[in-house]
Amino acid sequence: MKILYFAWLRQRAGVGEESVSPPPEVVDVGGLMRWLATRSPGHASAFADPAQVRMAVNQDFCGPDHPVHPGDEVAFFPPVTGG
Amino acid sequence: MSVVPTIRVQEAGFDLTAETAALSAGRVDVGGVASFVGLCRADDGLQALVLEHYPGMTERAIARIVEQACQRWPLTGCTVIHRVGRILPGEGIVLVLAASRHRVAALEACAFLIDWLKTGAPFWKREEFAGGGERWVAARAEDEARAQGWDGGSGAAG
């Protein structure tokens, strides 16, 4: 599973992209987030305030209940600020 | 006739005059072109904005928003150019053009597009200040409310 981080989530996690193999009990994006937060103090800091984290699976915005599967591209980022 | 929009995410600047002319070049059915140009302000001693995006997803999200605008208004053309990378005060950040036979469609579509670009396309702004300080721009609730005010039209969420 490919994980991408953007903006301050990338800075806090200390990585922009990583490949992970979460355990089978990780079935949705929310669960993935909680599991990723255990990878390092930086990851924990990135996910410390879940209300500030937005997500996408395979380049479509989604919520924490969205299922995840091996091979998915999952991205985490703050609320967008373009325009 | 279906609209072939111009959508670009680029580091380089853009030329409002040239992009506007392109929407009516070689045709006589365009009655008006509405434009929005977002500029970088130097608030609080800001020295530069640095814009980050999600390559691939950003272009797709913009295309989806443009598609919504084309379904909602009878446009003859549409252009969205969004810059990324380092942008200095006074420089353009984003260009939105909507062309139609009549002004109302062009003006409304242009407003819809910029409202949804602000909340529905993955871009993030970081501010750099004199002396080395920096901060990420926080999303504004009023921007989200403005986009949702178009009946939740785009189906995107940021």
For residues B14 and A29, give the distance between their C-alpha atoms in angstroms, rounded to a whole number.
38
Whether the complex's predicted ipTM is more than 0.90 is answered with: yes
List, for residues A13-46, the tens digit of each pLDDT value.
999 999 999 999 999 999 999 999 999 999 999 9
Domain that holds residue A53: 2-77
Tokens in use for A34? 């909680």
Residue A37 maps to a domain:
yes
| The pLDDT value given to residue B158 | 44
CA B75 to chain A, closest CA, distance in angstroms equals 21
B76 at A interface, C-beta within 8 A: no
Quote the CA–CA distance of B37 and A34 in Å, as a whole number: 40
How many CB contacts within 8 angstroms connect chain A with chain B?
74
Strand partners, B33: B99
pLDDT digits (tens, 9 = 90+) for B77-92: 999 999 999 999 999 9
Is the full-model pTM beyond 0.95? no
pLDDT tens-digit readout, A36-83: 999 999 999 999 999 999 999 999 999 999 999 999 999 999 999 999
Q: How many domains does the structure of chain A reveal?
A: 1
Chain B CB contacts of A4 below 8 Å: 54
Cβ contacts of B144 within 8 Å, gap of 6 or more = B119, B158
> Which chain B residues are closer than 8 Å to A53 by Cβ?
none
Q: In this predicted model, what pLDDT tens digit does every residue of B100-143 receive, in sequence order?
A: 999 999 999 999 999 999 999 999 999 999 989 999 999 999 99
CB distance A77–B122 less than 8 Å?
A: yes
Confidence of residue B2 (pLDDT cuts 50, 70, 90): confident
Report the pLDDT averaged over residues B29-51.
97
Which residue segments constitute the domains of chain B, with CATH numbers given? 6-148 (3.90.1170.40)
For the domain that residue A69 is a member of, what is the CATH number? 3.10.20.30
- Run of H or E including B143: helix B141-148
Chain B residues touching residue A61 (CB < 8 angstroms)? 61, 156-158
Tell whether the model's pLDDT for residue B152 goes beyond 60. Answer: no
B61-64: list long-range contacts, CB under 8 Å, 24+ apart.
B61/A61, B61/B120, B61/B121, B61/B122, B61/B156, B62/B7, B62/B9, B62/B117, B62/B121, B63/B5, B63/B7, B64/B120, B64/B154, B64/B155, B64/B156
* CB-based contact B94 A82, cutoff 8 Å: yes
